Amino acid sequence: MADSLPIHQYIHQIKQIIGDDGVIDDPVELLSYESDALQGVRSEPYAVIFPRTTEEVSAVVKILHKAGIPFVPRGAGTGLSCGCLPIGGGVVISLIRMNRILEIDVKNRYAVVEPGVINQWITDAVKSAGLCFAPDPSSGNASTIGGNVAENAGGPHTLKYGVTSNHILGLEMVLPDGEIVAIGGKTSETPGYDLVGIVTGSEGTFAIITKIIVKLVRLPETYVTFCAVFDSIDDAARSITGLFSAGIMPAGLEMIDRVFMKALNQAFDMHFPEDADALLIIELDGQLSGMETLKQRVIDAAHTYNVRSIETAVSDEERTRLWKARKLAFGAVGRISPCYFTQDGVVPRTKLPEIMRIIYDIGKKYNISIAMSFHAGDGNIHPCIPYDDRVPGAMENAIKAGTEILKACVDLGGSISGEHGIGAEKNNFMIWIYTDDDLACMMNLKKAFNPDGLLNPHKIFPETVQLKI
């Protein structure tokens, strides 16, 4: 540490700025902040700080920086890669109290929000003006926009609308030495290097984000949401590329397998056919004109791949119900097991049949009934690997299975993370997809923002890679 005072004295200094009600340092209360949504990985912080303003964030960071104490930003803690855990010790800075929507400009199609704003709140605030914030991660009702920006969150409609980084115009941030910097702006482009583009998705290792200027887009005129049932998972997987080959660009394209369908029926009374191998949710959105033509093309393409049945949602309620089922799929896992582990690999779409066969084979190898509910249109798989943590070795087996699945994704030309981020969960797998030079380049870039490495250390990179100068 730069200074040599005991940590509690720095926490006391922070309380002078934030107030006693802005700091948690009781060991029992801290238990809620020792993990994110990835079960089984824990790291207790020294304290959790709850600033309310950018200036408070800056003041806190300056104290911690001077003291040489590592610190980690946290949103709602819905992440799945230990991104907000203070690995190796540190203070957590929670942005959850900075939760105001500061400005909405309908004519210029942007909003300025604080990082603790929940993703769905943005669309809720602008939908009466016919607008929305397009990125819709499944955690959208709980995750914060600050966390979405840090992880470059995706979601089911990434296929048409892109990921979070395609919808961020500007950021205000606090650098690890406490400096407050604004980058980007309210315009569609800003000159110079794309700092907004590289800070988005930097997993909280470059800066703490304190304000976000988000782009708003027009809500579509209409939706057509299909529920396509397949007897063969191969047919379902092949139909995905079939749709694209037919020139169809769905807004969303998701798959749910037999195991999940059964769990969803039990948990949410969904009435999915439990004797079918897979179900695709295919959504078109856009202008009403031409939608019948596109609808027929989807139906024709699906029949080319032996679809058992393909129906469209006949009402907004039915559409909402279908999407609720998809987004809450992992919430239904409780019907299968007390715990689960998931992965976030990506493969080229044409490799989906192959990766699904590999996943089920890995399941058989470890005697685990792996369930699949994922973003089929992007090739972004989310195998759900259930386990019972009361059974010795079960968690370890689940992690081994997940690791083998991820390696298989890479071997098929894919990547190790489509949207959950690397964090402290997959950092040692970065060497599967990047050379030492690639990793050294990224670590070099980090020095431009976080030269002392105090902000969110032990994330993203394998610890064994040395920086080449």
Site for other proteins in 3-42 (CB under 8 A): none
Q: In angstroms, what is the minimal distance from the CB of 451 to other proteins? A: 9
Q: Does 309 bind other proteins (CB under 8 A)?
A: no
Q: Which of 32, 435, 452, 466 binds other proteins (CB under 8 A)?
A: 435
For other proteins, give the closer residue by CB, 253 or 371.
Answer: 253
The continuous run of DSSP H or E covering 357 comes out as helix 352-365
**Nearest approach, Cβ of residue 423 and other proteins (Å):** 11
**Residues with Cβ within 8 Å of residue 462, at least 6 apart in sequence:** 427, 428, 430, 431, 439
Query: Which CB sits closer to other proteins, 332 or 465?
Result: 465
Residues forming a β-bridge with 112: 103, 213
Q: Of residues 54-83, which lie at the interface with other proteins (CB under 8 A)?
A: none
Count of residues near other proteins by CB under 8 A: 89
Q: Which residues contact 71 (CB under 8 A, 6 or more apart)?
A: 60, 61, 64, 86, 90, 91, 92, 93, 454, 455, 456
439 sits near other proteins (criterion: CB under 8 A)? yes
Number of Cβ within 10 Å of residue 104's Cβ equals: 18
In the complex with other proteins, the residue whose CB is nearer, 261 or 439, is 439
**Does 195 interact with other proteins (rule: CB under 8 A)?**
yes
Tell me if 201 contacts other proteins by CB under 8 A: yes
Phi, psi of 252, rounded to the nearest 5 degrees? -150, 150
DSSP 8-state code for residue 467: P
Which DSSP string do the residues of 92-152 spell out, in sequence order? EEE-TT---EEEEETTTTEEEE-TTSBHHHHHHHHGGGTEE-----TTTTT-BHHHHHHHT
Considering the complex, what minimum distance in angstroms separates the CB of residue 438 from other proteins?
A: 5
Residue 297 token pair: 């093309």
Residue 279: name the closest of 372, 390, 159, 143 by CA.
372
For the CB of residue 460, give the shortest distance to other proteins in the complex, in Å: 7
Least distance to other proteins, CB of residue 238, Å: 10
Looking at residue 24, its amino acid is I
Question: Looking only at residues 217 through 236 of this chain, which bind other proteins when binding is defined by CB under 8 A?
Answer: 218, 220-221
What is the layout of strands, in order, in the sheet containing 252-257? 307-312, 222-230, 278-286, 252-257, 371-374, 383-387, 339-342
Q: Is 72 helix (H, G, I), strand (E, B) or coil?
A: strand
Q: Tell me the DSSP string of 403-461.
A: HHHHHHHHHTT-BS-SSS--TTTSGGGHHHHS-HHHHHHHHHHHHTT-TT--BS-S-SS
Query: Using CB under 8 A, which residues numbered 326 to 365 contact other proteins?
Result: 346-350
Q: Is 420 in the site for other proteins (CB under 8 A)?
A: yes
For 137, the token pair is 């991660």
Minimum Å gap between C-beta 331 and other proteins is 23
Answer yes or no whether residue 462 interacts with other proteins by CB under 8 A.
no
Cβ closer to other proteins: 395 or 440? 440
Of residues 136 and 151, the one with the C-beta less far from other proteins: 151
Q: Per CB under 8 A, does 445 bind other proteins?
A: yes
Considering beta carbons, is residue 360 or 434 the nearer one to other proteins? 434
Site pattern 87..116 for other proteins (x: CB under 8 A): ------------------x-xxxx------
CB of 466 to other proteins, least distance (A): 14
Q: Using the rule CB under 8 A, is 296 a contact of other proteins?
A: no
**E strand or H helix at 58:** helix 54-67
List the one residue from 275, 447, 452, 466 that touches other proteins (CB under 8 A). 447
* Shorter beta-carbon distance to other proteins: residue 313 or 352: 352
Residues 236-265 that bind other proteins (CB under 8 A): 241, 244-245, 247-249
Per CB under 8 A, 466 contacts other proteins: no
Report 135-174 residues binding other proteins (CB under 8 A).
Answer: 151-152, 154, 158-159, 162-163, 165-166, 170
Binding part of the chain for other proteins, among 32-40, 84-92, 271-279, 430-438 by CB under 8 A, reads: 430-438
Q: Indicate the SS3 state at residue 464.
A: coil
380 binds other proteins (CB under 8 A): yes
Side by side, the strands of the sheet bearing 91-94 are: 23-24, 47-49, 91-94, 71-74
Please tell me the distance from the alpha carbon of residue 301 to that of residue 309, in angstroms, as a whole number: 12
